[in-house]
Structures are given as structure tokens and as C-alpha cells.
Amino acid sequence: MSAVQKTRAEVLDGRPVAEQIKQDVRAEVTRLWQDHGVRPSLAAVQVGDDPASAVYVRNKVKTSEDLGLASEHHALAASTTTEALIELIADLNRRDDVDGILVQLPLPKQIDEVAVIKAVDPAKDVDAFHPVNVGLLAMGRPQFVPCTPAGVIELLERNQITIAGVNACVVGRSQIVGRPVANLLLQRHATVTICHSRTADLSSITRQADILVAAIGQPALIRGLYIKPGATVIDVGINRVTDRELARELFGDVAETRIEAIDRRGYTLVGDVHPAEADLVAGRRTPVPGGVGLLTVAMLMRNTVQAARRRRGV
């Protein structure tokens, strides 16, 4: 299927939903302070100087401050050991003025990522990666919901997209997105299929989905023939494209702005869905950027406020 000259699918813009959630968080932070003298606090921990991680952490810290939360940024050297990182986490666990702890992933290779995740107090685990929180989510009794999967559900529900009774397919089985979003869809009474890198005849399965969530980390893997006509397509992927001709093929009639981005900064972003082809078939589609990614930070802020409420008995 070739690139298109006219967009057909409705764009599910993440911006208005993210702003609504942030407004709710800001109002809640104000109430907590005025009524109880409580100011929710987030501690963000970054190890090493990975540029993408640095941008993500700065964005999270800035957003928390903009919404009235207290925040602190712990930037550690790339040579930091597992033991040193766990010692810092233990200190943050003990501090009563810290409500949420975020350890930015991925971590340098010498660090035991599983041990670090398990070291975070589940009551402060606002990313919801700790085994206790993973288990509670699987049981349908979540203390916190992982931020990106929670954002996917918010995007669907606030756009009044029916989940109960429909066929949903999640492409990707990571603990961060694929499995938890499948669980959340199942808890809302969708019939859920999980696909992955070893799924045979992937397109024949994804074409049955009324809601298709792509979270496999392969640029533009989901092409038009993978999509059921009229389906809602949620693109969680974030991948860099540096080739101008590939950008032209992927983005069709809006390719020039993407090519300008490549010329200006060396890359443009594409998700796990082929945007031009998806627009020919899907009923609704999230853009990249501007879709699910914007909701991830908003949901982190909401989790931090929830942690403050629970921990302080408010």
C-alpha cells in the first residue's frame, strides 16, 4: 500500500487529554496543601548521561514543579554500582518527605535492574514496576498503574471509545507496556490477544482487533494490511528515522515537515505503526509524537499525588 495524499483516520491527539489530567492534578495538589498542609513530592533518579534519559527526567521534574509538586533530581555517574544506587533508594524510602520514587530506565549494564526495581518501597513506586505492584495489577486491585498503560486507557475512555465487549490486540509483551495494558483492557471486559516477535502470521491476528495497541519497538511494523477497517490504533512506539526518502514514504502528504526535522536535527520520530498506510484503513490513530507519550508524564504526576494521599492517610 502506497503513501496517501489525504488523511482519513481521525487523529487521537494526546494533548487535550494530558492537559485535562494535569489540571486535575494541579487542583488536587492545591487542595492537599490548603486542607492538610501536604505537598506531594517526587524524587527522580538518573544514572549516567544518556541524552534521551536526561530529556525524560528533566521533563518529569519540570512538570512536577509546574503542577505544584515538590521534586528533586538525583543525577549519578555512569560508573555507579548497584550497591550505591540501592543505598540511595533506601535513603529515599526512609524519608517521610518523599512520596514517589522514579528510577529512570534503562540503567547502565553493570547495574542489576531487577534488584533496583525491587529496592523501591512499593508505596512509593509511582512507576508501578515493583513485583508487589505488578501482582496487585494482575489481581485487578492496583495500588498504582504503570504510567504509559494508564495513559492508553485514559485516552480511550476520555474519547468515549468502547472497550467492553470488543476485540483488542496488543502487539508487544514487555512488563512496562504490553502486559499491563493487556491486563487493563481485560479488566474492562475486552477480549484480549497478546502478540509478540514470535507470533506466526501476525497480520491475520491484528486484523481482527477493534482496538490495536502497538508496543513492540519496531518502526512502522504495523502496516495497512495489519489493521481492521475502522479500528482504533494506539501507537506506543517511539523510533528515530534519519532517512529522508523513508520519511517521505512513511508520512505521505505531511512528509515535508518531517524531512525538515531530519535536516534540522538529524531525525524525526515514527511509532510502531506505518502512519500513511494506517490513515487509509483505521478509524482513529494516535500520532507520534503527540499521542500516548504526552500522557505518560501526566499519569506519573497523578500516581505521585495518590502516593502522597495514601502514605499520609488523607
Instruction: List, by residue number, the catalytic residues.
Output: 60, 104, 127
CA distance 271 to 218: 8
Neighbours of 56 (CB within 10 A): 19
Question: What DSSP letter does each residue of 103-169 carry, written as one string?
Answer: EPSSPPTTS-HHHHHHHS-GGGBTT--SHHHHHHHHTT--SS--HHHHHHHHHHHHTT---TTSEEE
Neighbours of 45 (CB within 10 A): 22
CA distance 170 to 181: 8
Pairing of strands 239-241, 268-270: antiparallel
The answer for residues whose C-beta is within 8 angstroms of residue 48's C-beta and 6 or more apart is: 76, 77, 78, 80, 107, 108
CA distance 146 to 291: 17
CA distances from 40 to 28, 62, 101, 144 (A): 10, 14, 11, 15
Question: What DSSP letter does each residue of 268-301 carry, written as one string?
Answer: EEE-SB-HHHHHHH-SEE--SSSSHHHHHHHHHH
